[in-house]
Structure 1
Amino acid sequence: MDEQRTHSGDGPLRGRGGPAPWRHGPAALRRWEEWVERRGLPWASTLAVTVFVQVGSGFAEHAQLEYRAKLDVFARLLLLVASLLLLLRHRHPVPVVYGVAAATMVYLGAGYPYGPVFFCVALGVFAAIVAGRRWAAWGAIGMLWLGHLLIAHWLYRWLPPGTDHGASWGGELVVAAWVVAIAAVAELARNRREQWAKERVEREQAAKRRADEERLRIARELHDVLAHSISVINVQAGVGLALLDSDPEQARTALTTIKSASKEALGEVRQVLDTLRAPGEAPRAPAPGLDRLPELVQQAASAGLTVDLATEGKRVELPPSTDLAAFRIVQEALTNVVRHSGSRHARVVVRYDGRRNLELSVDDDGPASRGDAGGSGNGLAGMRERAAALGGTIEAGSRADGGFRVRAVLPQRHEAKEGSP
């Protein structure tokens, strides 16, 4: 994972091919990231660290005059190098953390006073670990700590200022505790950053799934609307052409049916498209449901299909999604009878099974015809998708007597399972 991180040339550390992972973190971190991104390099924070280190080291010098060397030009330059390297800590965290550690080790080896220079090391280590370069950070810490042990417990005899004495091992334990604390805080920040990045990816994937599901729903809706209406239009157009010369009145009736079916199809298509233009708004017209089955039967009759409609059980109020799915399933089943069956008679039964399931069955006597009204072959797949989306099932197949049956079972309270009232 560490090797997959890249560094942007105009802002904070970024993941490859996407926005910075802290984008969805707390507001303070998000504002900080945006501020850094606008400026390209953390000039303000680096300048503040530089001033703090230079001024603080001056105070440390007065407190350690007895056993540490005075700050001279070389010491000030080392402090300046350690501070200014932090300007590149987001773009090049590995060279920066090693550079700061090296400058600090030379500073300590020259006998200059302990002080805020360690703040530069802490900030460099923090930036490297947060950037995912933890081994580089630990390597720089190890290098500096080993160098300090050699200087404080052995080499101090030969190094300036000459008046220094060896450090206590108890002090080394305090330094170790500070190192572990800095690394722990950096690891916590890194873990939170990765968590925010993961949550951002999950949100994007969820949004993509919702968009895909919405596209599928719209495609299914358009298919059901257009397939039924165009099948009716196709049949009536054939009747009109056949009777245009021999029976003008019947041809006129066919054209009237074509006009009515096309008008209704345009209205339903417009309703579907309105949901695309104004997402989130309530539809201007109610979605069709089982209460419109008589209209569906009348349309089928205009296409030459006689439909017997029966209702069994006590009717209950259905959720809108279930009501719409039930209507579309019956509509598609009747459309398939018009297209693919040689029978001109169909039976539709709507059965309410107490408060559990809604059962739909559409039967025709067959046999299958060779003609095709230009269907896409997605009718049964669309019905199964509608039923599955509600937790229901679809069975479709030939009967033993040569007819064809479509049977759907839909939960009557699907929305209640999702927590809806």
Structure 2
Amino acid sequence: MEEQRGRRFRPGRRDRPGRWPGRWHGPGPWPGRRHGPDGTEAAGAHWPWRSTVLFTVFVLVGSTFAEHQQPGREPLGVPGRVLLLVASGLLLWRQRHPVSVAFGTATAALVYLAAGYPNGPVYLAVVVSCFGAVVTGHRRAAWASLGLLWAGHVLVALWLYRLLPPPHDKGTGIGPEVVVAAWVLAVLALSELARVRREQWARERADRAQAARRRADEERLRIARELHDVLAHSISVINVQAGVGLALLDSDPEQARAALTTIKDASKEALGEVRQVLATLRAPGDAPRAPAPGLDRLPELVEQAASAGLTVEVEGEPPRLPPGADLAAFRIVQEALTNVVRHSVSRHARVRLDHGGGVVRLEIDDDGPATGAQAGGSGNGLAGMRERAAALGGTIEAGPRPDGGFRVLAVLPSHPREDQ
């Protein structure tokens, strides 16, 4: 905004209104144009030229044919055709000013009727305008315009026919007026049905859009969680080994070389897993290039922890789990061991695996004490573990043990539901 206030508009600049088509985002040249939140013209705000021209031609031709079929009525002539053009031409504004068009077409049709011109398709203009008014939410205007037309028709047919052309006209009686009333009610009923159906479609579109946004948010959260778990574990190992390498670079070059080798392997594995996670952002339908990690890769976690100076003892056999539960269990163990490396003085940890009764229990313990106030980590890792468990219908318990150290206990269902 500050840049716009400071800009000087000089003749010949491209940002002058009307100078360059498509550059001006102010009100358009057409009255009543509606714009959406992104600056584009709102749906339904265009000019219906083609349909209006075709409808006008149909009304003129049909009325001329009706004139030959009703010789007792007033001949159309120029005034009658002008009224037909007005009633049909008003439909050009039916999407921008539906209320005005509804009353305008009803008034033109009523004047046409009072002038004694032959009955014909002029009434279809009233039907189209009132239908559009109801569908766009202007129900009272549509009902009022049709009521105005029907009341005028009753007055002309039962009373004013003596004073209006054509000469020697006779009244029609109450029977035809009942038919006209039924016709009016049928038009309104169909319009209301179309309005309800249109609102239902709008709600369904909104629900689908909201569901799509929710799935996108869940996917972004999943990718962020995967990246956090992958990078936190690998960077922790790299950090520890970098410190070891720096400390032993002069006194023990071979040990420093081993630390650098561990850093290389950990960074390579992290890059591979990051590529695998980001592969889900490719075009829909592409299959992942590598299977998601699971508890069968526990030996790799143990080896990585050992390279960071942490001895891990595993008790129990990894159970066979569905891919989603297997990945969640692997990430939970990975995050728990990462927290031990980063936040615990202990160089020994235990991983217990137990499954039965439809659940899998993962217990990760260390002997502590913590290196700082955050014994279990910064909080993001624990929050990610809880989200993974909750998504599968499981639970996570994490906290200090009574005898010192820290424990993470995860209980996951062996066969989580697909909709969770």
- State the TM-score bracket (shorter-chain normalisation): 0.7 to 0.9
Is 1:240–1:251's contact at 8 Å kept on the other side of the alignment?
yes
Instruction: Identify which of 257, 265, 286 aligns with 1:281.
Output: 286
- 1:30 is matched with none
- 1:29 is matched with none
Please give the alpha-carbon distance, in whole angstroms, between the structure 2 residues aligned to 1:76 and 1:394. 81
Moved more, 50-59 or 318-327: 50-59
Give the letter aligned to residue 300 of structure 2: E
- 2:55 is matched with 49
- CA offset at residue 63 of structure 1? 3.7
CA pair 15-139 structure 1, distance change in 2 beyond 3 A: farther
| Alignment of structure 1 residues 55-204 onto 2, 5 Å | 55-66=61-72, 68-204=73-209
- CA offset at residue 64 of structure 1? 3.3
Please give the alpha-carbon distance, in whole angstroms, between the structure 1 residues aligned to 2:248 and 2:53. 92
Is 1:9–1:91's contact at 8 Å kept on the other side of the alignment?
no
* Higher RCO structure (Cα 8 Å, ≥6 apart): 1
CA pair 410-183 structure 1, distance change in 2 beyond 3 A: same
Please give the alpha-carbon distance, in whole angstroms, between the structure 1 residues aligned to 2:300 and 2:393. 27
- 1:325 is matched with 328
Instruction: Identify which of 344, 352, 368 aligns with 1:341.
Output: 344
Is 2:66–2:119's contact at 8 Å kept on the other side of the alignment?
yes
Is 1:237–1:255's contact at 8 Å kept on the other side of the alignment?
yes
- CA offset at residue 60 of structure 1? 2.7
CA deviations over 1:280-315 (Å, ceiling 9, x no partner): 322212211101101101111111111110116xx6
- 1:249 is matched with 254
Please give the alpha-carbon distance, in whole angstroms, between the structure 2 residues aligned to 1:304 and 1:52. 89
* Matching of residue 299 in structure 1 with residue 301 in structure 2: no
Tell me how many residue pairs correspond in the alignment: 392
Q: Any stretches of 5+ residues in structure 1 without a counterpart?
A: 1-7, 23-32
Equivalent position SS for 2:281:
helix
* Matching of residue 258 in structure 1 with residue 258 in structure 2: no
Give the letter aligned to residue 233 of structure 1: I
Equivalent position SS for 2:316:
strand
Equivalent position SS for 1:402:
coil
- CA offset at residue 15 of structure 1? 8.8
* Matching of residue 367 in structure 1 with residue 369 in structure 2: yes
Q: Any stretches of 5+ residues in structure 2 without a counterpart?
A: 1-27
The percent of aligned pairs where both chains have the same amino acid is 68
Instruction: Identify which of 280, 295, 309 aligns with 1:290.
Output: 295
Equivalent position SS for 1:400:
coil
Please give the alpha-carbon distance, in whole angstroms, between the structure 2 residues aligned to 1:20 and 1:135. 27
- CA offset at residue 232 of structure 1? 0.9
Please give the alpha-carbon distance, in whole angstroms, between the structure 1 residues aligned to 2:66 and 2:288. 73
**What's the Cα RMSD here?**
2.7
CA deviations over 1:146-174 (Å, ceiling 9, x no partner): 22222222222222223112221111111
* Matching of residue 207 in structure 1 with residue 207 in structure 2: no
- 1:25 is matched with none
- CA offset at residue 403 of structure 1? 1.8
- CA offset at residue 44 of structure 1? 2.9
- CA offset at residue 319 of structure 1? 0.8
Please give the alpha-carbon distance, in whole angstroms, between the structure 2 residues aligned to 1:20 and 1:207. 24
- CA offset at residue 337 of structure 1? 0.7
- CA offset at residue 279 of structure 1? 4.2
